[in-house]
Amino acid sequence: MEAKKKNQLKLTSAQIIPLGFLGVIIIGTLLLLLPFSTASGEHTSFLTALFTSATSVCVTGLVVVDTYSHWSLFGKIVILLLIQLGGLGIVAVSSSVLLLLRKKFLLKDRVLLRDSFNLSSTQGLLRFLLQVIKGVFTVEGIGAVLYAFAFIPKYNVPKGIWFSVFHSISAFCNAGIDILGPDSLIPFAHDPWVLIVTMLLIIVGGLGYFVWFDISTSVSHFGKYASREDKRLSEHSRTVLLLTAALIASGAVLVFLFEKNNPATIGSFSFGEKLLHSLFQSVTFRTAGFCAIPQSGLTEPSSLLGCIWMFIGGSPMGTAGGVKTVTVFIIVLNAVSYIRNRKETLLFGRHVSSELVQKSTAIVSFSLLVTVVMVFGLLLTDHFSLVDTLYEMFSATGTVGLSRGITQILSPAGRILVIIAMYLGRIGPISIALFFGQDDQRKNYIRHSDGRFYVG
């Protein structure tokens, strides 16, 4: 009887990971409620602390109070730590602590870490984790140094270094939270250095750790005596790089066409600045949350494009949100294969398993369903325009952080809806389905007779 109870209390990875994020959000809320977390003269309600903790852990960037003025230095440090935890992943951070403490890594710990990174095997997992931690801090350090060239001359040495570190971590983790002022990067709209550094950090964070190491391995073998296969990037890395380039380039072209004559955004800029801001907007659409032009001034076609790009997001095993580039591309490829009467879906000459197609379809379907439900919910609780509501909710579930200026005036019910949307977007709506679902694989051995259904 006791053994049966123990089995019932065992949690799967699909349950531990969402609970881990929820636990950190609660701890972050309690820390932000401390009197010395708030700047002098400001008051922090429970809902404000909860919203800020959730947007930090979920690396979203939507804020209901101005981060630069509402929070004390301690509060900003808490927010930065929450961003770093959320970007790396709760399981990855806790696993790193176990390694530092030289604690024994049990099989269940390895399985949990494997699932948190969405890997297929536990082989070489600890080495992969160490590479991730080393790579993350290296990139963030380089980003801080690059930011320092702009921030130190403007804000003096101590403040410039602090701003450089904060925004490097925020940009790399695709959080989009800043402490520069009430207008994000708009004051730096004519500073190409800050915009380019921000874009590079966002892109690198959104590529995914597997792609990093694959590129590193390929470069290390370049010019050496190694097989052609060793020098070649994997099909996953090639797919990610091509999709990333295609989405950024096509997004930039479309933003340029939609906004080039819009005086509310880039209409008054020079041709070179229009190109740079179109590129920046295309990059930040895909889960970053920083803005260099007023989002409320975007035309409706640009806002719709933003919703699509926010929904797609970055690439697997990175700091970006969304349903991920490869996920969407697999569904598109599967549709193309069906139209061309192909029996299998191929990508770079490799077979895409039916299980992967099913998983991709489930992720996109659940995510879209959750987003649409949340849009209807926000339309009921708050009476914003459809464009503003769509933009806000696609930004929340895609963990992007861009807003057309309605986040700070959300009703309490609206704030709760956005918190739920950010949380679901970070862990993935499909994770919640698996959390409550029962894994009964015995039913897979039962073969039912074919039903007669009609689609299309």
Q: What pLDDT shows up at residue 454? A: 73
Q: Is a pLDDT exceeding 50 seen at residue 130?
A: yes
Q: What pLDDT shows up at residue 14? A: 64
CB 315 within 8 A of CB 327: no
Residue 6: pLDDT band with limits 50, 70, 90: very low
Separation of alpha carbons 177 and 400, rounded Å: 10
Separation of alpha carbons 341 and 358, rounded Å: 18
Residue 25: pLDDT band with limits 50, 70, 90: very high
Lowest mean pLDDT among 60-64, 263-267, 341-345: 341-345
Sequence-separated (6 or more) residues with CB below 8 Å from residue 133: 88, 92, 96
Q: Is a pLDDT exceeding 90 seen at residue 67?
A: yes
The percentage of residues in the chain with a pLDDT greater than 90, rounded to a whole number, is 59
Q: What pLDDT shows up at residue 4? A: 46
Q: What pLDDT shows up at residue 8? A: 45
Q: What pLDDT shows up at residue 420? A: 95
* Tokens standing for residue 74: 């301690």
The better pLDDT of the pair 168, 432 is held by 168
Q: Is a pLDDT exceeding 80 seen at residue 331?
A: yes
Residue 377: pLDDT band with limits 50, 70, 90: very high
Angle at 144 between CA 142 and CA 145, to 5 degrees: 65
Q: What pLDDT shows up at residue 3? A: 47
Q: Is a pLDDT exceeding 50 seen at residue 1?
A: no
Q: What pLDDT shows up at residue 101? A: 60
Mean pLDDT of the chain, nearest integer = 86
Max avg pLDDT among 77-81, 225-229, 437-441 = 77-81
Compute the average pLDDT of residues 23-51. Answer: 94
Q: What does 371-435 look like in DSSP terms, one character per residue?
A: HHHHHHHHHHHS---HHHHHHHHHHHHTT----SS-GGG--HHHHHHHHHHHHHHHH-HHHHHHH
pLDDT tens-digit series, residues 384-437: 999 999 999 999 999 999 999 999 999 999 999 999 999 998 887 556 655 555
Sequence-separated (6 or more) residues with CB below 8 Å from residue 353: none
Q: Is a pLDDT exceeding 80 seen at residue 84?
A: yes
The percentage of residues in the chain with a pLDDT greater than 70, rounded to a whole number, is 84
Q: Is a pLDDT exceeding 50 seen at residue 268?
A: yes
Lowest mean pLDDT among 261-265, 395-399, 452-456: 452-456
Q: What pLDDT shows up at residue 107? A: 65
Read off the pTM: 0.88
Q: What pLDDT shows up at residue 410? A: 96
Q: What pLDDT shows up at residue 132? A: 85
Domain boundaries, the chain: 9-221+232-437
Q: Is a pLDDT exceeding 50 seen at residue 5?
A: no
Q: Is a pLDDT exceeding 60 seen at residue 9?
A: no
The better pLDDT of the pair 333, 12 is held by 333
Max avg pLDDT among 46-55, 179-188, 423-432 = 46-55
Neighbours of 90 (CB within 10 A): 21
